[in-house]
Every structure is written in structure tokens, then in C-alpha cells.
Amino acid sequence: MNRTLARKIVRYAVSLLIVVLLVFLLPRCMPGDPVQCLVGEDVFLTQEILDAVTAKLGLDLPLTEQFRIYIGNLLTGDLGYSYTRHQNVAELILDRLPWTLLLTGVSMLIGYTFGIIAGTWTGWMAERKMSKILTSFGVVVSCIPPYLLGLIFFSVFVYQLGWFPYKGFYTTPDLFSVVYHMALPVLTLALFVFVRNMIIMRGSVLTERNQLYPQFAKSLGVPQRKIIYGHVMKNAILPILTHFAIDFGFILSGALFIEIIFSLNGLGRVMYTAILNLDYPVLSGLFLVIAVMAVCANMIADILYGIIDPRVKRGDGR
Amino acid sequence: MKFDRRYILPGLLILILLTVAAVPGLFAPYSITDRDATYQAPGPDHLLGTDNMGKDIFSLLIYGARWTLMIGFASGLLAVFVGTAVGLLAGWRKGILDEFLMGTTDIVLILPKIPLVIVLAAYLGPGPSVLIFVLGLLSWESIARVVRSKVIQIRSAEYILAARCLGFSDVRIMVREILPVVFPVIVPKFVLVTAAAMISEASLAFLGLSDPLMVSWGGMISDAFTYSGFLRGMWYWWLPPALCIILGVLAITSLAFIHERGVREVVQV
Amino acid sequence: MFGKNTFIIAGIIFLTLLFTAAAGCIGSSQTDQNAVLKIATPNEITEASYFGNYNFAQMTRVATPPLVQVDENGEYIGALAKSWTVSSDGKTWTFTLDPAYQWSDKTPLTAEDVKFSLEYTGEKVTTSPSWIKNAVITTNGNVVTIGLADPVYRLCGDLAAINIVPKHIWGSIDDPEEYISAGPYVGSAAYYVQSVDINSATLVLAANPAWKGTDPYYGTVEIHWFATEDAAIFAMLGNECDTYWKYGASFPTGSAALLNSSEKFTGVETPSLKMSYVGFNTISSQAGGDKAFRKAVAYALNYDELVEISASGYGMTANAGFIPNSVPYYKETPANIYDLETAKSKLDLAGYKDVNGDGIREDTNGKPLTLTLLSRDKVAGELIKEYLEKAGLRVEYKFASDLNAWIELKDALAYDIAYNGITPKGMMMDSGWATGYFASNTVGAGKLQNVDDPAFLGLCSAIATTPDGGMLRSLISDLQDYYAENMPGIALYWCLDVTPINTEIDGWYISKAAGILNEINLVSVHPVN
């Protein structure tokens, strides 16, 4: 048990280190002027500012020394400065993060809940026609690039039918307006989360169904509903947890496209603008934050896994 | 083993796509440099109309298969190569090496892929090789895992032990004896990586991070969006490549699913 | 029978009716507080920083106007300044303020505010022009005098980009580029910025109660921004917004056909300062440095098709004199003509013959010739490649997929021919009249800097130090002759701007620099009765 724990901690630490190293080395190893890469392209700058950046980051110092300064900055929460936006990268990300988390959080909540329920049902009732239709629907949706579905939804539900607003998180900052504006983006993103989880859950339930205990419970007279949603679902949910961490990155990138299409000013839009302006400080900072969030998601999944599955606690799980 | 009829439809579809990608000149009525009047609606001369430069959209669709499949399969192959190598090594040589390789695998699994691809493409500049490398080098972890567990499973099998006793080199045993056994578990993973890479390419093209000179399905959708095909309601410009991506990915993933299910059924019997 | 009086009365009634109707048509001078004008734009305000965000600064020109602005013909007219004079040595500029402009918090606007704003911008804004730091600014009543250390003749161009802001507000703000506020911001024109919200992507301009000029019709003007151009256009076509605006740019010409097919909108075409051209590497390329070669290539380019495809039909074929006909001091020069046979015979004459008979021309020494074509525009690059190949030249096409790659290639002069675009602002940068794109003694991301001919550089510096008038006219005439005679670049087409006009609204005024988002337009627009 302790060994597993130690191994996990080492892995998380190393992945964090790799992310930090990547962000540090990329602008410095790129062809061209590192100052330009750290400041961003298409920025009007005076020589004084360029000199100030060089001095602050110590770009004339040896790499090890630069790395020390960089780590020092990171530890004080300094992710760099965007000269295109005249803003602190950390403040910028902190400002936009809650909106993106709201979008992804609600989508995940809806997607996971319905995905798990639907997956359990389609897995248990795999022979039914409805189940087959639902499964095929899920497979087809999961083969569509997220941005394409977003575009189609935008043109149909917003432009043609006029059911949803064109842009923004709200018109007036109140709950009703936010719900109205977020409805379509959340539904689009939730659809992807839903089909992914449904497919994983279905496969997992199919495996569980063939085990002995459900039949045993059935012979004891436990109601079918209780067997499925009580016992089978609880056991079959483990692969979902493993996938949760991997999904996290996927959902965040899905949010990126959704935010562009529905003009929502979250982290995805920040990233898109940074790509267009080649605003490297923002790109690096965003990647760092997203990667750290992904590592955290993995840790949470690990902990949850341990709580739900006693086999892991006993130490005989992988 | 009986031939599974469920393979026919997706298999046929992939075969068609591959043929088209291999010799697009045979199927396309025009070359990708031929031009006619711009923004034409579908008609007898141009099955799917023409784009903003007056190029035949149907021909572009045919030529687009090449790059899209190329990026998909090349990333898949790269992932298989790295994944198999890591899995074989880790499974064969337990101990520190296994620990190290599996640790690396976990780390690759943790890194958020699309954001990493975006950052790398933004720094390195868009291009097909960057796409293939990044997509391929970030997708091998699941392959490494299945290969490793399979290797551990058969490592102590008698015929392997026999080969070892006979003094065959490790490399020879791996290539001759283990690889053929591992192969069936790699195939579905390979096609899944391929499918994911095709979707990623389309997404990156939308962000302007794919090579714009390359005729790919994702690039066509992105062009339709850039040159107001979407606004003009030219569904015959962006929908066919979209359908091609969806169908291609669908065919490839269903092959994987059928294969996996087949394996499972065989194992259970 | 009707008496004479009857006719007089009838006449009076008729005239009264006519006047009432006319008054109705002109629009009431009263502001309708509930009326809202909604403008859709793809120009996103990424952070609510009045000085730090470029798009926000463009939009707020209508709330805190600069001293001068650009009119519908591209000439400078007064904004905050009612009139101005310049001394003959170009060093002393005197501006008289227009009393109509008053701060929306009822504080009077004074010459001190102007002095403050210029100095504040010079000190705290990174992109401010260099002359401010050495200028001596004095005030006297409602007159501001700018004394320059060195003569600057094109001062208005810089002044039109400096917003005049209230001293009593900004005086206490130390770092304006980083200062973020959701508003309201005190303004001086017909409107002031009431609020800006980056979550709802809306900027609200409210009528300024202290404004002493003509009252606008709309009580509120809202600017809504969208993440993509398509979303903005969809919002306009879907009646979510009344019109579309993009800073310094035309409505996307590829989508202009949509305007003509819609009932509510129509597209107005105006000549633009924008154009596109191919520049030759006259410095280090053998063929590019050969005048005869360049002139031959000028016949190989299919100008009509470039307009048709690259500009979606919204452009005019250009002349050898390069600069567009809407630029001041333009003069007639021979038109650029596409004639493949002439191009081929001129290439033959210049010594670029196909010696070995493989269908591809060799250079003047009979050695294989490969031209490197550089472009960052996918469509134009591909077309030009095709034209050059048709003339029998071998082309290696280098596509710069992003700004990084472009800067690297063009700064290294790693091309023989390069496709490039000229922006309205770029047309007048450095010495003006597009010279900034050619002169090798300047630097910039969008410039080719491909001419180091002393004659050309001399002409540029002469233009920079000559005030408006007959002297300048003759210099610009010489410049156009230089362009036509030496062809360091070939103008492909002069752009036409398309502005979507909502036919349910009247009184549109389109500024050459700012499009419909200008003070004059906001005061003049009103619904059609």
C-alpha cells in the first residue's frame, strides 16, 4: 500500500516537473529570438521594455540560473506578463477560469449522470432494439469532431430557429440570463461527455453482467432495479473513474471549441486569441494551468477509486 | 475461426478510402490545380460545385483522403511502434526498467493532449510532420499497457521458456515468438489512435494550426468556414468532408470494436 | 369659383405640410432615450482596458474623440478641434477647440485636458509617436499649441489616434494600459462609454447629457462583439444587430453577395486605401534586381482574375504608378495589362530564354532559373504561382503559414517575388504613399523593405520633410513615375471596401478610416420614417 502510494506521488511529481520544464524550455529552444518568443509576436515594444524583459528573466544568464529565476516566479504565482494584452497571465487566467469551469463542470455533471445511467441500461438490456439504437447513436456522435457539431448547432438552433442567444455568458448578470445563454453550449459539450461515458459504461456493465453475483442476487429475490443500479452499476463504474482523468483534458479542449463558436469569453477564447496573436506567455501559462488541473484530476480519480473499490485498498488492485 | 460478417461493411469502406487515397487521379474528375468559375452550385460539371477559387469540390474531397488518412495512419503507426517497444521491454525485463517505463507511460497519460498539441503547433509552426509526431508521440500509452500485460502473461509460457533455454537472443524471441501473440491486441488500439488523430487533425485545421496548403478534409471544412462557404449556405462544401471524416472514423473504430468483442468472445469460450 | 385667397391658403397649407414632412424625414433633433442601435463586430475587447486594449481604443474614439478625424474622402477634418493651423516650418501646430464637446460628468472640457492627454499618452502608452516626448505643449483659453522639436508634416495621422481624455479622471491613474474598469468612462462627444462587459461581450454607449452639438436619435448605442466573423454576420442577418462594423476593414468580400440577396441590407462600395501587390527582391536576387525582368512579369499577371478570385470581385485593376486613385496627389499612369504573349516576348528579349528546350526558361546566362515566391495569402499565392508558370518560369512556392515564418523569410530576403498586402494605415506610414513598404532603411513586420536604390530613398526623405502643397505634389508625381518606371513592386489591384447598410436606417456617413463607427455617423443615423 505504501509502496503504491509512494510510486503514485513520484509519478505526479515527475509529470509536474515535465510540464514545468516544457514550458520553460520551449521558448528558449525555439529558432529565433527567445525574447521575441517570451514577449510574443506582433507587439509594439520599445528597446527599454525588451531590455527589461531580458534583465527580469535573465536571458543572458546560464540556463540553470534562468531556471532558478523561473521557478522562483512560479512559486510566487507569477506566470509571466502578456505584452499583447497588458495583463498579468496569472490574473488573466484566474479571471476567466471560473467561467470555463462552470461550462465544463455543468456539462460533466449532466454528461456523467446521464451517461452512466444510459450506459448501465444499454449494457444490461443490450439485446433490446432501443439499446442498440442508443449505442449506435453514441458511436456516431463520438466520431464527430466537437467543433463541427457546435457549428451545426449554432447555425440551426441559434440562426435558423432563434431558440438560443448568439453570444456571451449573459445579457444581464442574473441567474436566468446565465442559464439561458449557457444552455446550448452546455448541452453540446454534455452530449460528448454523455456518449463517451455511455459507451464505456455499457462495455463495463456487459462484463459485470456475465459475472456470477448478479445471478446470485437474482436468485435471492433482490429486485432487478436494485441489482442493476445498486450492485452492478457500483462495480461497473470503476472504468469511468479511470477515464475521468483522461477525459478531463478532452473536455477542456472541447470547451475550447465551444467557447469559440458561441463567443463565450472563457479560457478557450483566451487560448484562441493567444494562438492568433502568437502570444506565447499566455499560451505557456494556460498550458501550465491546464496540465496542473489534469494532474489534480488524476489524483482525485485515484483517491475516489480507492474509496469505491475496496480491492484497491487491500492492495491487490493494480 | 469463422469469418465475421460484421467486418464486411467497415472493411469495404476502409478499402474504398484507401484506394481513393492511393490513386486519387483515377477517381477525381479534375486535378487540384484546375479552376473554373467560383462558388458554383452542384451541377453536372461539378458534382459538389466549386469553392472560392473555382476548384472542383468533389475532386478536392477525393484528394483530401490522402492527407487525412496519411496523418491518421502515420500517427497510429508511430504510436504502435513506440507503444509496442515500451510494452515489450517493460514486460520482458521486470524491475527498475519496468517501473521506469510504466512511470513514463502514466505521465504521458496524464498530460492533456489537445492543449499540448496546440501549444507545440503554435511554437513549432503548423506542418504535417509536427502533427504526426505530436499526435503519435502522445497516444502510445494504452498500447504500451496492453502489450506489457500480454507479455507478462506469456513470458512464462513453455515455448518461450524453451526458446530461452535454447539460447535464442531476447530480440529474436521478442520478434519471432512474442510479437505474433501480441499483435491481435495491438490492432484495435492502432485503429483507435488513427481515428483519434483524424479527428484531432480536423480540429487543429479549424484553429488554423494545420498546414493550409495540404488538401485534407479538416482543411476543407476550415476553408469553407474561412471563405464564407458556411455563411453562404454551401453545405455541399463542408458537409461532404465532414461526413467523410465521420464515416472514416466510424469504420475504423467499429473495426476495433468488432475485433475486441471477437477477442473477448474467444477468450470467454 | 375659387378666389385668390383660396390659392394662397391652399399654398400655405401645402407648404406647411411639406415642411412637416421634410422635418419628419430629416429626423427629429430630439433623442429617443429608448431607441437602441446595435452594432455587430468581430473586433473583440479581450479586457476592459481603455488604453491597453487596441479594439477598445478604436471603439472609444467616438466617446473621447481625438483632435482630428478622417472624413468620408480620407481627408483630415476637425473632431475635438474646430480648426487648426500649421506654421510654414511645420513646427508649430495650433488647435482651436469646438465648444460642443463637454465632459459627460458636467465638468467643462478645457485645453488643459488636451495638453494632459497628449503628454499622458506620450509618457504612459507604449505605442505613442516619438515626437510627443520632445514637444512643448501650451494652452491659452480654448487654444492648444504644439511646438515640435523637428518638423512633422503628417502630424494629423498621429493625432487622430490619440483620444482626448478627462484630466480630472485619468490624472490619478498611473498605469493606464493596465487599468481595467467596467465603466462608466467620462466622455465628451455625443456619447460616452456607459459600460463594457467582457462576459456578455457588449459595450454600451449612452447619450452624453452635457453634449452641446446636434442631438443623436439613438439614446443608446450597443456594440456587440463575436468570436468569429461568421457569428457577427449571422447576428446581423438574423436581426440580432442592426449593422456590422470592423475596424479598418471591409465587410468580408466573399460574403458580400449575402447582402445583395437580403432584403434588409445593401452593400455600399467605396474605394479603399487598401491594395495588394507583388514586390521583387531588388537587393539580392538576380532576376528580381533586373528591371527588364520585372516589367516582363507585369504582363504575365492576370489582374482581372486576381480581382475576381482574390478580392471576390471587390477591387479595381491597378496602374503602373502603384498607389490607388483615392490617395491624395494621385496621377494617371499606364494601366497594368495582362498579356501573356507580350510577357513571353519581353522575357525573351530580357534574356530569359528557354535555351535547352524543356519548356522552362533559363536565366540570362543560360543557367537553370528557379524563382522563389513568398506569400502568406493562400489564394493569391497559388494564383501568382500559376501565372508565373504559364509564362514559362519555374517557381518554388514558399508559403508562410504564420507571422513568425513570414518575418523570418522576408527579413532574410529569401525570395525573388513576394506577395503582400497594404493596409490603409500602412499606405501612409513612414514617408507615406506606400514607400514604407519598400524603403530598405525602415523596419516592420508587414514590410518587404526590398529597395535600397539611393534615388528612391532620397525621394522618400524629401517627401517626409515637405509640407502639403505644390512642392509635395511634384514629389509624389516623381514617386509615381519611379514606381511605374522601375517597378520594385507591381500593384495587383486596389481594393473596394464594402459597408453593409441597413436600409431601415437613414443618414449613414462612412469614414474612410473608421467606417461607420465615427462620431458624425452616430449623430446622423435615424430610422427611416
Residues A113-126 pLDDT 10s: 999 999 888 888 88
CA distance A150 to A148: 5
More confident residue, A283 or C275: C275
CA distance B262 to C141: 91
Q: What band does B197 get if pLDDT is binned at 50, 70 and 90?
A: confident
CA A227 from centre of chain = 32
**Out of B35-39, B53-57, B150-154, C380-384, which region has the weakest mean confidence (pLDDT)?**
B150-154
Q: What are the cell numbers at A115?
A: 451517461
Whether C230 sits inside 8 A of B212 (CB atoms) is no
What is the reported pLDDT for A1?
52
What is the identity of the amino acid at C418?
A: A
Host H or E run for residue A268 = helix A267-277
Whether A14 sits inside 8 A of B218 (CB atoms) is no
Q: What band does A315 get if pLDDT is binned at 50, 70 and 90?
A: very low
Residue pairs between chains A and C whose CB atoms are closer than 8 Å: 95
Report whether pLDDT(C212) > 80. Answer: yes
Q: What band does C327 get if pLDDT is binned at 50, 70 and 90?
A: confident
Whether B268 sits inside 8 A of A272 (CB atoms) is no
Report whether pLDDT(C63) > 90. Answer: yes
Mean pLDDT score, A234-251: 76
Q: What is the dihedral of CA C207, C46, C404, A254, to 10 degrees?
A: -140
What is the reported pLDDT for B169?
78
> Where are the alpha helices (H) located in C333-419, listed in sequence order?
340-349, 378-390, 403-411
Mean pLDDT score, A65-92: 85
Report whether pLDDT(C465) > 60. Answer: yes
Nearest-by-Cβ selection for C227 from A32, A92, A260: A260
The answer for residues whose C-beta is within 8 angstroms of residue C64's C-beta and 6 or more apart is: C163, C164, C165, C166, C185, C187, C188, C189, C192
State percent of chain A over pLDDT 90: 18
**d(CA A294, nearest CA chain B) in Å:** 6
Closest CA to C72 of C507, C529, C528, C526: C507
Question: What's phi and psi for C196, nearest 5 deg?
Answer: -140, 130
Residue pairs between chains B and C whose CB atoms are closer than 8 Å: 44
Please name the chains neighbouring B, where neighbouring means 3+ C-beta pairs under 8 angstroms: A, C
Report whether pLDDT(C22) > 50. Answer: no
What is the reported pLDDT for C38?
94
What is the reported pLDDT for A191?
94
Kindly list the residues from chain B whose CB atom is less than 8 angstroms away from the CB atom of residue C252: 228
Whether B268 sits inside 8 A of A250 (CB atoms) is no
Report whether pLDDT(A142) > 70. Answer: yes
Q: What band does C294 get if pLDDT is binned at 50, 70 and 90?
A: very high
Closest CA to A26 of B115, B112, B123: B123
Question: What's phi and psi for C127, nearest 5 deg?
Answer: -90, 15
B268 touches A at CB < 8 Å: yes
What is the reported pLDDT for C263?
85
CA distance B10 to C384: 42
Report whether pLDDT(B267) > 50. Answer: no
What is the reported pLDDT for C524?
92
Q: How many CA atoms lie within 13 A of C58 on its CB side?
A: 18
Whether A145 sits inside 8 A of B202 (CB atoms) is yes
Mean pLDDT score, C108-128: 90
Kindly list the residues from chain C whose CB atom is less than 8 angstroms away from the CB atom of residue B228: 230, 252, 254-255, 258
Mean pLDDT value across chain C = 88
Nearest-by-Cβ selection for A263 from C127, C227, C238: C227
Closest CA to C276 of C492, C509, C59, C24: C492
Judge contact between C54 and C126, C-beta under 8 A: no
More confident residue, C401 or A317: C401
Q: How many CA atoms lie within 13 A of C348 on its CB side?
A: 7
DSSP count for chain A of H helices, then E strands: 15, 2
Mind listing the pLDDT tens digit for each residue in B84-116? 988 888 888 777 888 888 888 878 877 777 788
**d(CA A88, nearest CA chain C) in Å:** 9
Specify the long-range contacts of residues B92-98, CB closer than 8 Å, at least 24 apart: B92/B151, B92/B155, B92/B170, B92/B174, B92/B178, B98/B148
Host H or E run for residue B195 = helix B179-206
Nearest-by-Cβ selection for A169 from C199, C231, C238: C199
Q: Report the residue of B33, B231, B237 to disrupt the C interface, i.e. the one with the largest count of C CBs within 10 Å.
A: B231
Mind listing the pLDDT tens digit for each residue in C493-517? 999 989 998 999 999 999 888 889 9
Report whether pLDDT(C315) > 70. Answer: yes
Kindly list the residues from chain B whose CB atom is less than 8 angstroms away from the CB atom of residue C404: 125
Neighbours of C27 (CB within 10 A): 19
Whether C200 sits inside 8 A of A166 (CB atoms) is no
What is the reported pLDDT for B269?
26
What is the reported pLDDT for A313?
47
More confident residue, A48 or C40: C40
**d(CA B53, nearest CA chain C) in Å:** 6
Q: What are the cell numbers at C442?
A: 525602415
Kindly list the residues from chain B whose CB atom is less than 8 angstroms away from the CB atom of residue A245: 109-110
Whether B230 sits inside 8 A of A252 (CB atoms) is no
Mean pLDDT score, C480-502: 93
Kindly list the residues from chain A whose CB atom is less than 8 angstroms away from the CB atom of residue C203: none
Residue of C nearest to B126 (CA): C401
Mean pLDDT score, B163-190: 79
Report whether pLDDT(C266) > 80. Answer: yes
Q: Report the residue of A144, A200, A260, A289 to disrupt the B interface, i.e. the one with the largest count of B CBs within 10 Å.
A: A144
Q: What is the dihedral of CA C388, C392, C398, C399, to 10 degrees?
A: 40
Whether C309 sits inside 8 A of B227 (CB atoms) is no
Residue pairs between chains A and B whose CB atoms are closer than 8 Å: 116
What is the reported pLDDT for B268?
33
Neighbours of C504 (CB within 10 A): 11
**Out of A125-134, B160-169, C406-415, which region has the weakest mean confidence (pLDDT)?**
B160-169
Q: Report the residue of B124, B223, B228 to disrupt the C interface, i.e. the one with the largest count of C CBs within 10 Å.
A: B228
Kindly list the residues from chain C whose CB atom is less than 8 angstroms away from the CB atom of residue A158: 234, 238
Mean pLDDT score, C425-453: 85
Whether B118 sits inside 8 A of A210 (CB atoms) is no
Nearest-by-Cβ selection for C379 from B39, B52, B231: B52
**Out of A54-63, A153-162, C226-235, which region has the weakest mean confidence (pLDDT)?**
A54-63
Neighbours of B225 (CB within 10 A): 21
**d(CA B67, nearest CA chain A) in Å:** 17
Report whether pLDDT(C2) > 60. Answer: no
Mean pLDDT score, C253-271: 87
Mind listing the pLDDT tens digit for each residue in A192-231? 999 988 988 888 888 777 776 777 777 777 777 777 777 7
Nearest-by-Cβ selection for C309 from B53, B213, B228: B53
Which ipTM did the prediction report? 0.84
**d(CA B79, nearest CA chain C) in Å:** 27
Cis peptide bond N-terminal to C216, omega within 30? no
Whether C233 sits inside 8 A of B231 (CB atoms) is yes
Q: What band does C59 get if pLDDT is binned at 50, 70 and 90?
A: very high
The answer for residues whose C-beta is within 8 angstroms of residue C102's C-beta and 6 or more apart is: C108, C109, C188, C208, C210, C211, C212
**d(CA B238, nearest CA chain A) in Å:** 10
User: Would you mind telling me the total number of residues written for chain A in this entry?
Assistant: 318
Kindly list the residues from chain C whose CB atom is less than 8 angstroms away from the CB atom of residue A156: none
Whether A170 sits inside 8 A of C44 (CB atoms) is no
Residue of B nearest to C309 (CA): B53
DSSP assignment of C124-184 equals: H-TT--GGGGG-EEEEETTEEEEE-SS--TTHHHHHTT-----HHHHTT-S-TTT------
Q: According to the 3-state scheme, what is the secondary structure of C98-131?
A: CCCCCCCCCCCCCHHHHHHHHHHHHHHCCCCCHH
**Beta pairing, strands C394-399 & C370-375:** parallel
Highest mean pLDDT among B189-193, B252-256, C450-454: C450-454
What is the reported pLDDT for A311?
55
Nearest-by-Cβ selection for B38 from C309, C386, C401: C309
C403 touches A at CB < 8 Å: yes
**d(CA B165, nearest CA chain A) in Å:** 31
**d(CA B228, nearest CA chain C) in Å:** 6
Closest CA to C132 of C161, C108, C109: C161
Q: What band does C331 get if pLDDT is binned at 50, 70 and 90?
A: very high
Residue A60, judged by CB atoms within 10 A of its CB (0-12, 13-18, 19+), counts as exposed
**d(CA A144, nearest CA chain B) in Å:** 6
Q: Where are the beta strands (DSSP E) in C289-448?
A: 315-317, 370-375, 394-399, 417-422
Kindly list the residues from chain A whose CB atom is less than 8 angstroms away from the CB atom of residue C200: 167-173
Question: What's phi and psi for A68, nearest 5 deg?
Answer: -60, -45
Whether B116 sits inside 8 A of A291 (CB atoms) is yes
Please name the chains neighbouring A, where neighbouring means 3+ C-beta pairs under 8 angstroms: B, C
Q: Report the residue of C200, C403, C411, C443 to disrupt the A interface, i.e. the one with the largest count of A CBs within 10 Å.
A: C200
Q: What band does A43 get if pLDDT is binned at 50, 70 and 90?
A: low
Q: What band does B2 get if pLDDT is binned at 50, 70 and 90?
A: low
Q: What are the cell numbers at A230?
A: 445498486
Judge contact between C377 and C310, C-beta under 8 A: yes
Whether B123 sits inside 8 A of A30 (CB atoms) is yes
B256 touches A at CB < 8 Å: no
The answer for residues whose C-beta is within 8 angstroms of residue C267's C-beta and 6 or more apart is: C251, C256, C259, C260, C498, C499, C500, C501
Whether B125 sits inside 8 A of C401 (CB atoms) is yes
Residue of B nearest to C232 (CA): B231
Mean pLDDT value across chain A = 81
Report whether pLDDT(B59) > 90. Answer: yes
C77 touches B at CB < 8 Å: no
The gap between the terminal CA atoms of chain B, to the nearest Å, is: 12
Report whether pLDDT(C227) > 80. Answer: yes
Helix (H, G, I), strand (E, B) or coil at A1: coil
What is the reported pLDDT for C3?
53
Whether A294 sits inside 8 A of B110 (CB atoms) is yes
DSSP assignment of C15-63 equals: HHHHHHHHHHHH--SS-EEEEEEEEEES----S--TTT-HHHHHHGGGT
